[in-house]
């Protein structure tokens, strides 16, 4: 693999510094290019510096692009482990297929990622709650304004040492159940991790933040009634002693952390179901006491308790960090950081 050296390395954040989320980026990135007729080619590690693009590139006009999010962790034996990368590569392939992007060969992407992480090992933060966040993306670079799939693409992987996703750290999040704007209808791109899904979420997210909340809790596009997911996480509710999460009906992201939490819950014998959940069921449960916990899951958000939900002008208090969210957070981060046995084979050591 070709490697282009940079002249001056960046200053790394000091040990123990507040990293926030996605504010620092490492010195290098991995890139690969695609042209139709030639396929994916020229994998290389190059300095993470601004690149020049033709402003007619399709991604700037029509949003043809997808991305992923993963994390790598330092292990007690000094090795580095990536959490379930094969799941993310498989999801990226499905996202590419939905957006008419040629699939990026998972073996080439993984090889590039591992080489990049080996090179950037010193950027991996050590503190509790920190990780090296991995952001692969594919964007369309054909300079043409006709609305058609591009014939050339750039694949890249950025690395970012991160702490908590939320500015308020691990404090329970406050969500607004959104009954005006929608994220994605069934048949849309809701399952794909594509750029547009995040662009359409910004307006409602901004309104929620202005009102003092952290994120939006999306309701379905057809009836504005059934819970879909939160801004950057899948949603879970503990109702009448059972853990419930919205079923993957076509408009919801197939979260890798969601899937891992379902495995952990089933392993512990905790009743779980994936089904439709109406916002009325949640608000009634908050009032009657049947809803004992709610939390979100995601690569960035890990397992984040949901403290309260605003719906149609009324706040429904759920509470602090519940027992189940605490257990899942402990198990998940325990496996990721090598403190607990990797009994499901989730870690890819490099
Ligand atoms: C992730 O959890 O990795 C995400 O992609 C969510 C968000 C930061 C966009």
pLDDT tens-digit readout, 226-283: 999 998 999 999 999 999 999 999 999 999 999 999 999 999 999 999 999 999 999 9
Pairing between β-strand 215-219 and β-strand 227-230 as defined by DSSP bridges? antiparallel
Pocket perturbation via mutation, ligand 1, pick of 229, 296, 298, 303 by most ligand atoms within 8 A of CB = 298
pLDDT at 69 over 70: yes
* DSSP reduced 3-state for 124: coil
* 69 pocket-lining for ligand 1 (C-beta < 6 Å): yes
Domains of the chain: 2-162 (3.30.470.10), 173-336 (3.20.10.10)
Ligand 1 centroid distance, CA of 67 (Å): 9
Give nearest CA residue, ligand 1 atom 3.
69
What pLDDT score was predicted for residue 320?
86
What pLDDT score was predicted for residue 319?
86
Portion of the chain with pLDDT greater than 70, in percent: 99
> The tokens of 22 are what?
């996605």
* 298 pocket-lining for ligand 1 (C-beta < 6 Å): yes
* 299 pocket-lining for ligand 1 (C-beta < 6 Å): yes
pLDDT at 145 over 90: yes
Count of CB atoms situated within 10 Å of the CB of 158: 18
Strands (DSSP E) found in the chain:
2-3, 28-35, 39-47, 65-67, 70-74, 80-83, 131-140, 152-162, 173-178, 215-219, 227-230, 234-239, 242-246, 272-275, 291-298, 302-311, 314-317, 347-349
What is the atom index within ligand 1 of the atom nearest the CA of 70? Answer: 3
pLDDT at 22 over 90: yes
- From the number of C-beta atoms within 10 Å of its C-beta (0-12, 13-18, 19+), residue 110 rates as middle
* 31 pocket-lining for ligand 1 (C-beta < 6 Å): no
320-327 contact pairs (CB < 8 A, 24+):
320/172, 321/170, 321/172, 322/238, 322/292, 322/293, 322/295, 323/293, 324/238, 324/243, 324/265, 324/270, 324/293, 324/295, 325/293, 325/295, 327/264, 327/268
pLDDT at 169 over 70: no
Give nearest CA residue, ligand 1 atom 7.
232
How far apart are alpha carbons 201 and 222 in whole angstroms? Answer: 17
What pLDDT score was predicted for residue 296?
97
What pLDDT score was predicted for residue 268?
98
What pLDDT score was predicted for residue 164?
86
> The tokens of 75 are what?
């292990």
Taking the alpha carbons at both ends of the chain, their separation in whole angstroms is 17
* 255 pocket-lining for ligand 1 (C-beta < 6 Å): no
Ligand 1 centroid distance, CA of 299 (Å): 6
* 232 pocket-lining for ligand 1 (C-beta < 6 Å): yes
Question: Torsions phi, psi of 312, nearest 5?
Answer: 45, 50
* 300 pocket-lining for ligand 1 (C-beta < 6 Å): yes
pLDDT at 153 over 70: yes
Portion of the chain with pLDDT greater than 90, in percent: 95
Q: How far is CA 84 from the centre of its chain?
A: 13
Question: Torsions phi, psi of 255, nearest 5?
Answer: -70, 135
Is the C-alpha dihedral spanning 125, 3, 112, 257 positive or negative?
Answer: positive
Instruction: Supply the pTM of this predicted model.
Output: 0.96
Residues 305-328, mean pLDDT to the nearest whole number: 95
Give nearest CA residue, ligand 1 atom 5.
69
What is the atom index within ligand 1 of the atom nearest the CA of 69? Answer: 3
How far apart are alpha carbons 96 and 297 in whole angstroms? Answer: 23
What pLDDT score was predicted for residue 167?
72
With a CB cutoff of 8 Å and minimum separation 6, the contacts of 17 are: none
Give me the chain's average pLDDT, please. 96
Q: How far is CA 67 from the centre of its chain?
A: 9
Pocket perturbation via mutation, ligand 1, pick of 296, 301, 332 by most ligand atoms within 8 A of CB = 301
What is the atom index within ligand 1 of the atom nearest the CA of 67? Answer: 5
pLDDT at 171 over 90: no
Full DSSP string of 286-334: HHHT-EEEEEEEETTTEEEEEEEEEETTEEEE--S--HHHHHHHHHHHH
What is the atom index within ligand 1 of the atom nearest the CA of 301? Answer: 2
């Amino acid at each position: 693999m070709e490697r282009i050296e940079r002249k001056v390395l960046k200053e790394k954040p000091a040990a123990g510094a507040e990293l926030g989320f996605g504010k620092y980026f490492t010195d290098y990135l991995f890139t690969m290019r695609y042209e139709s007729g030639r396929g994916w080619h020229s994998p290389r590690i190059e300095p993470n510096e601004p690149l020049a693009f033709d402003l007619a590139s399709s991604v700037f006009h029509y949003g043809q692009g997808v991305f992923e999010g993963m994390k790598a962790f330092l292990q007690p034996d000094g090795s580095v482990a990536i959490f379930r990368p094969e799941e993310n590569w498989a999801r990226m392939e499905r996202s590419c297929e939905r957006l008419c992007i040629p699939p990026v060969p998972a073996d080439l992407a993984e090889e590039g990622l591992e080489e990049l992480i080996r090179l950037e090992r010193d950027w991996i933060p050590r503190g509790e709650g920190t990780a090296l966040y991995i952001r692969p993306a594919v964007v369309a670079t054909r300079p043409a304004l006709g609305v058609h799939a591009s014939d050339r693409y750039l694949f890249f992987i950025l690395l970012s040492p991160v702490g908590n996703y939320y500015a308020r750290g691990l404090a329970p999040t406050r969500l607004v159940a959104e009954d005006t704007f929608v994220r994605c209808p069934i048949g849309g791109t809701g399952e794909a991790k594509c750029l547009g899904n995040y662009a359409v979420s910004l307006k409602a997210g901004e309104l929620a933040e202005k009102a003092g909340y952290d994120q939006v809790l999306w309701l379905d596009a057809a009836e504005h009634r059934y819970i879909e997911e939160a801004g950057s996480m899948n949603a879970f509710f503990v109702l009448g002693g059972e853990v419930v999460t919205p079923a993957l009906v076509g408009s919801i992201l197939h979260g890798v952390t969601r899937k891992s939490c379902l495995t952990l819950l089933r392993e512990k014998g905790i009743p779980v179901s994936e089904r439709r959940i109406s916002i009325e069921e949640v608000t009634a449960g908050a009032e009657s006491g049947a809803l004992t916990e709610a939390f979100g899951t995601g690569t960035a958000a890990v397992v984040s308790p949901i403290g309260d939900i605003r719906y149609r002008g009324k706040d429904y208090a759920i509470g602090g960090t519940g027992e189940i969210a605490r257990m899942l957070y402990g198990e998940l981060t325990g496996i990721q950081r090598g403190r607990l046995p990797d009994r499901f084979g989730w870690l890819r050591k490099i």
